[in-house]
Amino acid sequence: MRVGVVGVGAIGGTLAALLDRSGHEIAVAARGATLEAISSAGLQLTGAFGEYTAHPSAAETLPSGVAYDLVVFATKAMDASTALAANAGACVGTPVLIVQNGLDAITGAGELLPNSRLLGGLSVWAATQTRPGGILVTAPGSLVIGPTDDADPIVQLLGEAVPTSATRDLVASQWSKLVVNQVNALPAITGLSVQETVADPDLRRVLTASIRETVGVARAAGVRFARFQGLSDPLLSVIRGVPARLAEQLPRLMARRMGQVPNYGSTLQSIRRGLPTEIDYLNGAVVAAAARAGVAAPINERLTRLVHEVERTGVFLTPAEVAEQVR
């Protein structure tokens, strides 16, 4: 099959390399140093999915006039509309998968790609772009796509590269992933890994509080959570209702599932590269949903502001400073 991948960073790079390894014909759209590196030396995957170098065709945009079986977008959320618009010609009549955290993957994409079937994707694996064209998978995991069911040929196609399952309720799965992504803000604010964040008592308290607040906002918005990465709707109700100390078992479990390799999260990766972060689409999405539902989300609001502060200043906060600012 012929697959186009736009955005060849941590997640898009993993998918492009694994699809190439499975024997599919891959074209990628990349820019700057990443385009140069892939064109000259290929796309190098290391880590939990094994070692492999792919040599896909690469250009600034996917050539149109080519019949793709699937086009995958894997940019950060704030770059998605520009990438969709620039590659719209290649997507006409083609199924499009947008792999993105937050709630917005396919919201609004229909206006830019009116003639494409749109699917959203949630990556359960964790990865880092170690250099342009070099991807390290730090924790293995599957891909969840929807709204669809497991009989979908796109699920089969992706499943040849990485374990893939379908969700009929993409929004419910996105909200569950939004709970998991509560682990992103604190590493971006402190420079610590997710595992170090959860091991620190002050940061674990803040993380637990932001998770519980997120569950409360979802309830106010009438959202039910999907089964996802060990989470479920009943479990999250319990986590919201039990004493905070007991609820801290959830972040501990989430960190354990990430394994031993330090996971810095995709938000801290942006900070380290001096780039704007996706935080408005993560904790910021919780704040926006809270406002729509007429409730407050002060912890998510504060975390969003602190991430923006670190984006601006480049100075990380200590766990004690964070604890002081997020009560």
Ligand X SMILES: NC(=O)C1=CN([C@@H]2O[C@H](COP(=O)(O)OP(=O)(O)OC[C@H]3O[C@@H](n4cnc5c(N)ncnc54)[C@H](OP(=O)(O)O)[C@@H]3O)[C@@H](O)[C@H]2O)C=CC1
Choose from ligand KPL, ligand X, none: what does 294 bind? Cβ within 5-8 Å by kind: none
Q: Which residues bind ligand X (CB under 6 A)?
A: 6-12, 29-32, 34, 74-77, 79, 82-83, 86, 99-101, 123, 126-127, 129, 266, 278
Q: How far is the CB of 155 from ligand X (least distance, A)?
A: 18
Helix (H) / strand (E) containing 188: helix 182-190
CB-wise, 17 or 194, nearer to ligand KPL?
194
**Peptide bond just before 187 cis, omega within 30 deg:** no
Q: Write phi, then psi, for 3 (nearest 5 degrees).
A: -125, 135
- For the segment 224-263, give every residue that binds ligand KPL (CB under 6 A): 263
Select from 48-56, 62-70, 180-188, 286-294 the region that touches ligand KPL (CB under 6 A).
Answer: 180-188
Q: Does 270 bind ligand KPL (CB under 6 A)?
A: no
Tokens 């729509």 sit at which residue? 292
Spatial distance between the Cα atoms of 221 and 302, rounded to a whole number of angstroms: 20
Shortest distance, CB of residue 164 to ligand KPL, whole angstroms? 16
With 0-12 CB in 10 A as exposed, 13-18 as middle and 19+ as buried, what is 233?
Answer: middle
Q: What is the 8-class DSSP label of residue 102?
A: S
Question: 12 vs 284, which CB is nearer to ligand X?
Answer: 12
Please list every residue from 90 through 119 that binds ligand KPL, using CB under 6 A.
Answer: 101
Residues in the chain: 327
Residue 197 binds ligand KPL, judged by CB under 6 A: no
| Binding at 86: pick from ligand KPL, ligand X, none (beta carbon under 5-8 Å per type) | ligand X
Sign, CA dihedral 264-186-295-292, equals: negative
Query: Residue 318 CB, nearest distance to ligand X (Å)?
Result: 25
Q: Which one of 266, 270, 277, 304 is in contact with ligand KPL (CB under 6 A)?
A: 266
Q: Of all helices (H) and strands (E), which one includes residue 45? A: strand 43-47
Question: What track of x and - describes contact with ligand KPL for positions 42 through 81 (by CB under 6 A)?
Answer: ----------------------------------------
Q: Which of 147, 11, 139, 16 is nearest to 79 (CA)?
A: 11
Burial of residue 255 (number of CB atoms within 10 Å: 0-12, 13-18, 19+) = buried
**First vs last Cα of the chain: how many Å apart?**
52
- In whole angstroms, the minimum distance from the beta carbon of 79 to ligand X comes to 4
List, edge to edge, every strand of the sheet that includes 2-6. Answer: 57-59, 25-29, 2-6, 70-73, 96-99, 118-123, 143-146, 164-166
Among 265, 279, 281, 317, binds ligand KPL (CB under 6 A): 265
Residue 184 CB, nearest distance to ligand KPL (Å)? 5
Which region, left, alpha or beta, applies to residue 280 given φ > 0 means left and ψ of -120 to 50 means alpha?
alpha
- Distance in Å, CB of 57 to ligand KPL, minimum: 28
Residue 6 binds: one of ligand KPL, ligand X, none (C-beta under 5 to 8 A by kind): ligand X
C-alpha distances (whole Å) from 88 to each of 2, 32, 92 are 17, 20, 7
Least distance (Å) between residue 181 CB and ligand KPL:
5
Q: Which residues bind ligand KPL (CB under 6 A)?
A: 101, 126, 180-181, 183-184, 263, 265-266
